[in-house]
Amino acid sequence: MLNRNPCISNIKAGYLFPEIAKRRRSYAAAHPDAKIISLGVGNTTEPILPHIDKGLVDGARGLATVEGYVGYSDEGFEELRKRIAEVFYKGNFGIDEIFISDGAKCDIGRLQLLFGAGTKVAVQDPSYPVYVDGSVLIGATGPWEGSGYQGITYLPCTAENDYFPDVEKLPENGIFYFCSPNNPTGAVANREQLTSLVAAARKKGTVIIFDAAYSEYIRDPALPKSIFEIDGSQTCAIEVNSFSKPAGFTGVRLGWTVVPKELKYAGGESVNADWNRICGTIFNGASNIAQWGALAALDSEGLKEIRQLSDFYLGNAKLIRSALQNLDISCIGGDNSPYIWAQFPGRDSWDVFAEILEKCQVVTTPGEGFGPAGQSFIRFSAFGHRADVEEACKRLGRLRFV
């Protein structure tokens, strides 16, 4: 028989969100009358808005016509890549630097093919678990100096350092996943912080993989929405982004990745050319229907709908945050992001998760699932129907006597 890929033995037995779904199912089985509300996984709940939906529908209808039919589109529709460059990057990138994907998560999983097994990896602690699990799957093992679990360097992002890591600890010639607005803390890095990150990355030869999946939730105009707003970042960063959270495309599936031509390996070869080669080889492009939807999302009507949808979820976030603050539970996030990060000092996050489920029939996400620094935290997601969020906020009052 074949041996198992040892990288698979190295990852945790279960991915965080299916584990939570399992616990929810077992609670539901034991309490068949419970009306469980999920503020757990960050999954959109609201219908796609009409103009964007029309883009999807018209595109799909066009497929049944000779003029409208399109087959493979590899890196993505040129028109869409052009529009992304204009809307998000002030036209600073050419279409050959923008690659359309089937979602940010999928590209996060593929990007490490550029660097290979044994590449030093650093993540924010806490962080979206795919950065760690994806790295281990591709062969990150370590251990390197200062590294934690499975050879990945965890850079704490806590209240003590304003949720921004000590960039002097970035690995030399490694990669660093950075997410802003952050999942799970909801913290958003400011211009000064990102400038220091870019300076450190350039000094140390680090490539930043910047996850901007929640950039459309930023309301404070002083906060950067992209790493490419920072001078010099084109030589040290790759950015992934997605239509999932701004346009409700979690199920439709569409994202993009920017790989600047200026980004080079130590030997001077082009990272962009390799990414093109990888995508052409193991990815046959995103759904063309989803791309027609994205084109509609990025015209003036569609951008208004993106604003409307993200405003709705930010409204939920405000409700959750004030419900927690009324209980004197200290929390951050929720103002420029759809996540609220709440602290339960001295408690184990899986215990708090179980207690909230038991007392309130509300599903959350235990902070520990995002890394050791999440130990006594709970993440509340603002993705939900308004009535459910209001009801959940009411029920959270039952935690008053914890």
Binding region for ligand PGU (CB under 6 A): 17, 41-42, 103-106, 128, 179, 183, 211, 213, 242, 244, 250, 255
Closest distance to ligand PGU from the beta carbon of 242 (Å): 3
Shortest spacing between CB 85 and ligand PGU, in angstroms: 19
Q: Which residue number, 108 or 323, has a Cβ lying nearer to ligand PGU? A: 108
For residue 246, which phi and psi values (nearest 5 degrees)? -75, -35
- Cα–Cα distance, 256 to 5 (Å, whole number): 29
Our CB check for ligand PGU shows the closer of 213 and 298 to be 213
| Closer CB to ligand PGU, 126 or 398, in the complex | 126
Paired tokens of 310:
């993200």
Nearer residue to ligand PGU within complex by CB, 17 or 312? 17
Of 20 and 69, CB closest to ligand PGU: 20
Task: Please say whether the dihedral angle defined by the alpha carbons of residues 125, 130, 133 and 134, taken in this order, is positive or negative.
Answer: negative
Q: With the C-alpha atoms ordered 138, 139, 145, 150, is the resulting torsion angle positive or negative?
A: positive
For ligand PGU, the closer of residues 257 and 343 by Cβ is 257
Q: Provide, rounded to whole angstroms, the least separation between the CB of residue 172 and ligand PGU.
A: 25
Cis previous bond, 50, omega within 30: no
| In the complex, least distance from residue 52 CB atom to ligand PGU, rounded to whole angstroms | 16
Q: How far is the CB of 145 from ligand PGU (least distance, A)?
A: 27
CB nearer to ligand PGU: give 103 or 333. 103
Strand partners, 154: 123
Question: Residue 152: which H helix or E strand, with range?
Answer: none
Closer by beta carbon to ligand PGU, 43 or else 141: 43
Nearest distance from C-beta of residue 374 to ligand PGU, angstroms: 12
Which class for 214: exposed (0-12), middle (13-18), buried (19 or more C-beta within 10 A)?
A: buried
- 3-class secondary structure, 117: coil
Instruction: Count Cα atoms within 13 angstroms, Cβ side, for 185.
Output: 24
C-alpha 337/C-alpha 343 separation (Å) is: 17
Region of 26 (left: φ > 0; alpha: ψ -120 to 50; beta: rest) is alpha
Question: Which amino acid is present at 209?
Answer: I
Based on CB atoms, which residue is closest to ligand PGU, 262 or 388? 388
Q: Which of 128, 107, 141 is nearest to 178 (CA)?
A: 128
Q: Tell the smallest beta-carbon distance from residue 354 to ligand PGU (Å).
A: 19
Amino acid (one-letter) located at 63: L
- What minimum distance in Å lies between the beta carbon of 240 and ligand PGU? 7
> Euclidean distance between the first and final Cα of the chain, in Å?
53
Q: Which residues pair with 240 in a beta bridge?
A: 211, 257
Output the smallest distance, CB 65 to ligand PGU, in A. 30
Q: What single-letter amino acid sits at 55? A: G
CA 237 to mean position of chain CA atoms:
16
